[in-house]
A = this chain, B = another copy of it.
Amino acid sequence: MATPPLADVDPSPGAAQTGLHARLLEQLGTAICSGRLVAGSVLYIDELVDRYAVSRSVVREVLRVLASMGLVDTRRRVGTQIRPASSWNVFDPQLIRWRLASGDRIAQLRSLTELRTAVEPQAASLAAERATPDAASDLVGLAAKMWAAGKAGNQDEFLRLDIEFHRQVLISSGNEMFVKLQELVAEVLTGRHHYELMPHHPDEQALQHHADVAQAILRHDGGRAREAMVHIMEQALNEMKSIWEQAGEPRRD
């Protein structure tokens, strides 16, 4: 009932979305994630065809994708039912973006950060075992550049290097799932979703910890690499906490 009327000639919400499929997917995906479409409620193909003025092909293809994400469940003679959040594939990048853009933003940010906190120390430890000498040297170099950028107060450059550093560590861990996870985190940190992000203070300690991680990996010292990374994560976790502890106020959508 509270669903938007149509999206025929809507140019695009934030970033340009080309193609009817992508646009309808975005519409329905965000509607479900935001809770505008309540779990248990039912959609009908013909109804969507009318409401959004697109063909059945488009609607059906979108519903198939949403079903593969666990957002909906379509059955004969019943229609397409919205599934509860517990059924969603919360690791789907697309779904994560929708949730970050919705009211679940804080919860999603928290889940992702906690996951990162768990994974990166383990990744650092594995990297110490598996990193090639070249990769380890690159890490040491990156840490040095971070130090320079931090001292110079160059925040943009620092953020870029920071992300690159963590990416290299996760790649060196040799675990493809860790790498994919980092891509998600990087997207959030880059502010590609521009929600009020932390200023990202590079302080003395953080710089030292990054250097420690690089050194430990170079020396194949998994224990120290993990330990240093834990400290980095604690700091990141605290920064995030300051965000979501003050965040309880409502937002536009």
Q: How many residues of A contact B (CB 8 A)?
A: 37
Knowing A57-B60, A91-B89, A123-B118 are in contact, say whether A111-B177 is a contact too (CB < 8 A). Answer: yes
The answer to whether the Cβ of A148 comes within 8 Å of any Cβ in the partner chain is: no
Interface segment, one of A61-69, A191-199, A209-217, A241-249: A61-69
Q: In the bound complex, do residue B112 and residue A117 qualify as a contact, i.e. CB atoms below 8 Å apart?
A: no
Q: Mark A104-122, 1 if CB is under 8 A from B, else 0.
A: 0001001110110111011
Q: Which residues of B contact A177 (CB under 8 A)?
A: 90-91, 111-112, 114-115
The answer to whether the Cβ of A208 comes within 8 Å of any Cβ in the partner chain is: no
In the complex, the count of this chain's copies comes to 2
Complex-state Cα separation, A122 to B57, whole angstroms: 45
Q: In the bound complex, do residue B90 and residue A180 qualify as a contact, i.e. CB atoms below 8 Å apart?
A: yes
The answer to whether the Cβ of A176 comes within 8 Å of any Cβ in the partner chain is: yes
From B68, B91, B115, B179, A119 is in contact (CB under 8 Å) with B115
* A140–chain B nearest beta-carbon distance, Å: 24
The answer to whether the Cβ of A94 comes within 8 Å of any Cβ in the partner chain is: yes
